[in-house]
Structure 1
């Protein structure tokens, strides 16, 4: 029997990515928009806090198990910025291009220090009162490029150099990205933990 999980996001690309990966566990991923609920305010100062806050909120509003992901880019030379503010780095309604431009501008001061990593935290609540939610995280190390490369992906992908493939993240196919990325690593851990939970 297919299990339904609500994803605490309306980001179509995220939903597609997660659906593909979780289909193997016979899990159907539903977006929040199915339930006509607003996104909660992300008031946490860490990826973990925000993921927990979103998953608990959605489980409470829908009465179904909920999965939330909070992820972003942390640049060593910028003390971990943009971090939890990755999506709104250049302002509340910033586009990917605005955010990428702001990052490039900030990096002008650090021509030699390009190390960065993407971080993803997943929180899964079986129900809103779940005392032991499943928390998983994944990290993808790389460097910040001097200019955007590639047309795939979203967010900071065009500026993120992946050492494993010697390309930018935006030059990878979705299949390649789904084996290397921070989200792929967090999801691999989630699949293991959820599989174990299902069979326990």
Structure 2
């Protein structure tokens, strides 16, 4: 069985990836599992693709194992795509979901519903070696509410409203979110790429 390291300390991401990639014959490890808990990898790229590749390469280099990294963010049309690659630190350091959401609400104060369109973006990169890199991008469109709704999820989820479901991401079950989320869509694309790669076979039940 292959070992693959997730280049993140985020337990939510690890759980989502474990659930959605369970069909493949590899063991997904956290940074803690490989003695890199708390590793802070600079994210100085100007695109989600650049940041996810940088994180995956760093962790692969440190561990000797293939590494999966993602870079995700919220792009709000009225804010010209902000906070974008700066989503996690939108309100500054230290990172705080509460502060980020408060700043976003304030930034859109007075903007009518029609002008509050946005999309979540995730880019996932699996770095095996320089000539074996898989990259998958997922997006989902929605609107930003003027106040938080729901107690689930994390990050901007309580503000991100999906009209077709009449729910925010924070009001969705785990399965509902995986089915439509930006990360879920990126993982589905990654699954397709993995299925074509002989290094990551699908598990066979005895």
Matched, 1:41 2:30: no
The match for 1:159 is 159
The match for 1:21 is 20
How far apart are the structure 2 equivalents of 1:94 and 1:55? 21
The match for 1:106 is 107
- Larger helix proportion of the pair: 1
Which 4+ residue blocks in structure 1 deviate beyond 4 angstroms?
none
How far apart are the structure 1 equivalents of 2:138 and 2:164? 16
When structure 1 is superposed on structure 2, of 86-95 and 49-58 the one drifting more is 86-95
RMSD (Å) for aligned C-alpha atoms: 1.4
How far apart are the structure 1 equivalents of 2:137 and 2:26? 20
Superposition deviation, residue 109 in structure 1 = 4.7
CA offsets, 1:129-186, max 9 Å, x none? x224111100010000111000010000000001231111100000100110000000
How far apart are the structure 1 equivalents of 2:108 and 2:2? 44
The match for 1:73 is 74
How far apart are the structure 1 equivalents of 2:86 and 2:137? 18
The match for 1:50 is 51
The match for 2:204 is none
The match for 1:123 is 125
- 8 Å CA contact 1:22, 1:28 repeated in 2: no
The match for 1:32 is 31
When structure 1 is superposed on structure 2, of 92-101 and 67-76 the one drifting more is 92-101
**Matched residue count:** 197
How far apart are the structure 2 equivalents of 1:109 and 1:94? 26
The match for 1:146 is 146
How far apart are the structure 1 equivalents of 2:31 and 2:124? 16
How far apart are the structure 2 equivalents of 1:141 and 1:25? 29
Gaps of 5+ in 2: 202-206
Gaps of 5+ in 1: none
| Structure 1 length-normalised TM | 0.94
Matched, 1:88 2:89: yes
The match for 2:172 is 172
Matched, 1:6 2:8: no
| Structure 2 length-normalised TM | 0.91
How far apart are the structure 1 equivalents of 2:12 and 2:30? 11
When structure 1 is superposed on structure 2, of 179-188 and 101-110 the one drifting more is 101-110
